[in-house]
Amino acid sequence: VHSGEIALPGGRRDGIEPYPVATALREAHEELGLETRHLELLGALTPLYIPVSGTVVTPVVAATTTRPELTPSPREVRAVHLGDLTRLAGTRELGRFETAVGSIVAPAFRIEHAVVWGATAMILNELLWVYQDIAGR
């Protein structure tokens, strides 16, 4: 359902792996080749229901002190967009979008001539609020 969209790494739980952390780490490794042993897990954001696919996403946030080497899977990833949260905040806007469930007003971000919206933008929006709250901005 979401093929071709700009999205964060993620996917469905595999068997009995501990959700959401093990799922997030496995998907980041499968999609981006990210060596997850170098990550510091920070926590999870608010679970988000996505009506179009009927799924609930629980975003997991992790950090690293160095820029990770990525080896994107050509089967799953067309392009990787890297950036920092400070610059991302400057591109935040509200947009009106037509969806299968009707017209919605939702956060959106402009990244490299593309508009990121929907669930990915909602997750990024919450991440920015948490980041700015922690940073005292």
Coil vs helix vs strand at 74: coil
Predicted confidence (pLDDT) per residue in 93-112, tens digit? 998 888 777 898 888 998 87
Coil vs helix vs strand at 3: coil
Q: Provide the pLDDT confidence category of residue 25 given band limits of 50, 70 and 90.
A: very high
- Sign of the four-CA dihedral 34, 12, 41, 126: positive
- Sign of the four-CA dihedral 133, 61, 83, 36: positive
Question: What integer pLDDT is reported at residue 4 of this predicted model?
Answer: 65
Question: What integer pLDDT is reported at residue 57 of this predicted model?
Answer: 94
Mean pLDDT for the stretch of residues 33-62: 92
Coil vs helix vs strand at 54: coil
